[in-house]
């Protein structure tokens, strides 16, 4: 009798265990299929690209629901340093070739997975109501108190701006009035709020607001050509998905979006 009772208990335990496993498998089968293949890409991109990239992100994620794009916008120099120090990034979109080339030299990006994609222009802006500054040379006037540019060491627009002012033989006269900013968007904000008399930014940034006006465009021969290279980080853990987005950035559809925001195609 006890043998039969013991056998019955063992059978009952096996049935309960089997039912539990079956329930667990059933729950797993209810998980959304899309979540299993979800990919998140981290893109480090120059601050001046933000508005165009916001549009491109929405379009791309709509076409590729399995992909989430996470952007880290900032000065190209700061972004390059983060990547050099091991920040987990899949794609780098720089506003300067020299910052980009540092990563190529370090072996973090290969030429085969990079391209010079866009161009830009450098402009002098003032608050919308200002009537005192009409050219770069007016920056030396006594009533011009502060001029903002990005910090040249980490912000390409700042480096281009300093170079242009040096070429125009204005830098030594205005250097003491310079207010440095962490990126071009901060320069734009300083001018919008009237905290500075003028600023030097990319044309694409100046076109984003009606609170500033463009006074002059720096001649192309006063500074290094403004090139935006983009490339895949070799250590990307999502190479195939990153490659697909990298190629999407080069499509006619995407280039048109960039051009709508004032960039030029290379």
Per-residue pLDDT of the chain (266 residues; tens, 9 = 90+): 444 545 455 555 544 445 454 444 444 333 333 345 799 999 999 999 999 999 999 999 999 999 999 999 999 999 999 999 999 999 999 999 999 999 999 999 999 999 999 999 999 999 999 999 999 999 999 889 899 999 999 999 999 999 999 999 999 999 999 999 999 999 999 999 999 999 999 999 999 999 999 999 999 999 999 999 999 999 999 999 999 999 999 999 999 999 999 999 99
Task: Report if pTM > 0.75.
Answer: yes
- For residue 190, being part of any structural domain is answered with yes
Q: Residue-wise over 71-88: b if at least 16 C-beta within 10 A, else e? A: bebbbbbbbbebbeeeee
In a shared domain, residues 161 and 211: yes
**Domain of 217?**
122-222
- For residue 212, being part of any structural domain is answered with yes
CA dihedral 67, 71, 76, 80 (to 10 degrees): -60
Question: How far apart, in Å, are the Cα atoms of 68 and each of 55, 72, 258?
Answer: 14, 13, 20
The CATH number linked to 82 is 3.40.190.10
In a shared domain, residues 130 and 209: yes
In a shared domain, residues 140 and 171: yes
Q: How many domains does the chain have?
A: 2
Choose one of 207, 222, 237: the last residue of a domain: 222
In a shared domain, residues 153 and 202: yes
- For residue 179, being part of any structural domain is answered with yes
Scan for tokens 């071009």, then name that residue: 184
Tell which residue, 224, 189, 227, 192, has the closest CA to residue 210: 192
Burial of 224 (0-12, 13-18, 19+ CB in 10 A): middle
């Amino acid at each position: 009798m006890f043998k039969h009772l013991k056998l019955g208990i063992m059978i009952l335990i096996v049935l309960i265990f089997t039912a539990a496993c079956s329930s667990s498998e059933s729950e797993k089968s209810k998980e959304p299929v899309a979540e299993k293949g979800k990919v998140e890409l981290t893109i480090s991109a120059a601050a001046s690209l933000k508005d165009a990239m916001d549009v491109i992100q929405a379009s791309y994620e709509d076409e590729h629901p399995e992909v989430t794009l996470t952007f880290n916008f900032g000065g190209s120099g700061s972004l390059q340093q983060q990547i050099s120090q091991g920040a987990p990034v899949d794609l780098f979109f720089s506003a300067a070739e020299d910052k980009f080339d540092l990563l190529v030299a370090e072996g973090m990006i290969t030429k085969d997975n990079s391209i010079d994609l866009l161009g830009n222009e450098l402009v002098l802006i003032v608050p919308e109501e200002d009537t005192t500054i009409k050219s770069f040379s007016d920056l030396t006037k006594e009533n011009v108190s502060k001029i903002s540019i990005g910090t040249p060491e980490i912000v390409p627009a700042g480096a281009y701006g300093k170079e242009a002012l040096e070429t125009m033989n204005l830098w030594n006269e205005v250097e003491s009035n310079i207010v440095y900013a962490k990126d071009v968007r901060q320069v734009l904000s300083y001018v919008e709020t009237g905290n500075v008399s003028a600023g030097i930014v990319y044309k694409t940034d100046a076109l984003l607001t009606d609170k500033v006006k463009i006074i002059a465009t720096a001649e192309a021969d006063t500074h290094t050509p403004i090139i935006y290279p983009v490339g895949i980080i070799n250590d990307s853990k999502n190479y195939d998905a990153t490659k697909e987005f990298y190629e999407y950035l080069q499509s006619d559809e995407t280039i048109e979006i960039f051009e709508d925001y004032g960039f030029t195609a290379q």
